[in-house]
Amino acid sequence: MRTTYDGLGDFISRLEAEGELLRIKHPVSPVLEITEIADRFIKKEGRALLFENVIGYDAPVLINAYGSKKRMRMSLGVEHLDDIACDIQGLLELSPPESIGDRCSLLAKLFSFRKFPPKTVKSAPSQQVVLTGDDIDIRKIPVLQCWPHDAGRFITFPAVFTKSLSTGRRNVGMYRMQVYDAKTTGMHWHIHKDGAANYHEYRKAGKRMPAAVAIGADPVVTFAATAPMPQGIDELLLAGFIRQKNVELVKCKTIDLEAPAGAEYILEGYVDLSETRAEGPFGDHTGYYSEQAPYPVFHITAITHRKKPVYFTTIVGKPPMEDCFMAEATSSIFLPLLRTQHPEIVNMDLPQEGTFHNCCIISIEKRYPYQARKLMSALWGTGQMSFSKMLLIMDEDMDVYNHKQIVRHLLNNLDPEQDLVLTEGILDVLDHSAMQPLYGAKLGLDITKRVSGEPKRVKLKTTDQKIPSVSSLIRGIPDITGAAVPFSDTKLKMLLVSIKKTQAHQAAKTAKAIWINDTSSYIDIIMVLDDCPDLNDLSYVGWKMFNNINPNRDLVFYDNGKITIDVTKKYASEGYHRQWPKELHMDKKTIDKIDSIWDKLDIDV
């Protein structure tokens, strides 16, 4: 039996009953201050926060509601995420699909089979207050400015409802929305999303496109808006399937669409297909600012809401963040679906350091030579898996979640000449490392055991070498701000080096100088990073690497078997002609302000 919620308020009550909610009554600004407080909680898996006194606004703000494994399960109404995966697996086994098309069709039928499709009701809490004409002012909603260099305030948790012009099928997606003025926002449709596909249908037909935006819907509906559903499959079927209960919808007041009846706010409006406006920059989930670019404009024709609405939002940035727990749920729930195409897959992890699209770790049941290579090619052509920049394939007896064990295994077994696959393909729009947007290098690592028909790995040196001091390796080399050998007991030795980069190709020059100092040939791999505060924080190092590496440019192999990994920022003189983004950091003024009121907040992380 699943726990279901009548609306966000019902979920808030459950959070409070479970000791998972903290009410903050001290006045706090939605400009940066809520972000700084929430970020401190999120990094320590602290409680959900309900800000009841937002300066300048009547509505409270809920944030970090999904920000722990427990709350993620609570939001979906289950004891274990595997419960949902097992339900999907059981349905798929009723009639195994023979093709991708069959799979998508079967999925829609199976979700409908459970008899929980969305249903329309005549009246709804989300329409207790209806604002049209001059009464519309989205600036009266406490939308956050999350980071200092954001272009303004952004709605970050919207469930955006559109429908296909040709088929009439509904799509629910999540796309950030920059607030421009009282009646307009941006609509940040990525080109590979279904919402953008619908947009292009209307654009081709020369018609403006209606859209409805639900803020603070049932937590399952908000989650479903982020799910990587096959194209053309209604996300509300997934929400109903998870809830084991229909999602109730209500007809919008000014457009021909339906929206969640239990939402806190509904924004009704349209996108004018002839209009774009500069959107961004925005502090994104990569931990960097995404650059400014032209995006469609959403015009609001009505705002409806509950009598006492709660503004539901999130912040994104350097991991761990709230969205990391949503990604974990997504990979767990959709694993059975991925297995229908790739039955050798045992388990999968999207490590938080990879920020969804930069790294995927997969264990497989290996049965034949080069099976890992085959899987890499297949995954790079499968839905949103095609945006994965790095795929690491390993044997089924390894734990995909034990990242330190995986790194050790790599450093004890990797044969660079045989185990690495370099190719090119489509990338996520937020990947800034590539030489051009949306396309760049990809890296596959095959660390599965060799089977008959595959060449043996080269014999690596032993682990009992005499260890030189780190100081001797970097002696006399300028601009190095730190160095560390994270694993001294592996066959391949890796040196992490932090530099203050001031010129092109500085990483290569630094590595060359270290090779000269390393007279005993102890170090095999040198990874060079921009000024890094703590090289012993391997999670931070991994985040830097996954974000900043363009594999066919930044992996340098030498004839003597040595490798340099350059994950520093790139300059135009290095062939990089895009704008390297800024890392997300809160400004000192806001940090100091929150430090000064922390005791008054009466909170304990």
Peptide bond into 320 cis (omega under 30): yes
Structure tokens that stand for 500 in this block? 């203050």
CA distance 585 to 521: 39
- Of 234, 284, 415, 428, which one is the catalytic site residue? 284
Q: At what angle do helices 538-548 and 403-413 cross, to 10 degrees?
A: 70
Sign of torsion, CA 432 436 438 442? Answer: negative
From edge to edge, which strands make up the β-sheet containing 390-395? 345-349, 360-364, 390-395, 439-446, 420-426
Q: Dihedral of the CA atoms 108, 109, 114, 118 (nearest 10)?
A: 50
What does the block give as tokens for 287? 């931990």
284 has catalytic annotation: yes
Phi, psi of 401 (to 5 degrees): -95, -10
Cα separation of 245 and 223, whole Å? 15
Long-range contacts from 489-492, C-beta under 8 angstroms, 24+ separation: 489/463, 490/408, 490/411, 490/412, 490/463, 491/411, 491/412, 491/413, 491/460, 491/461, 491/462, 491/463, 492/410, 492/411, 492/412, 492/414, 492/460, 492/524, 492/525
8 Å CB contact between 30 and 36? no
| Residue 66 DSSP class | T
495 - beta bridge partners?
526
User: Two tokens at 550?
Assistant: 């363009």
DSSP 8-state assignment for residue 288: B
* Distance (Å, whole) CA 54 – CA 65: 18
AA letter at 169: R
Dihedral sign for Cα atoms in the order 24, 29, 35, 39: negative
Q: How far is residue 107 from each of residues 55, 88, 95, measured CA to CA in Å?
A: 46, 9, 10
Strand 282-283 relative to strand 61-63: parallel, antiparallel, unpaired? unpaired
How far is it, in rounded angstroms, from Cα 513 to Cα 521? 13
Would you name the residues annotated as active-site residues? Answer: 284
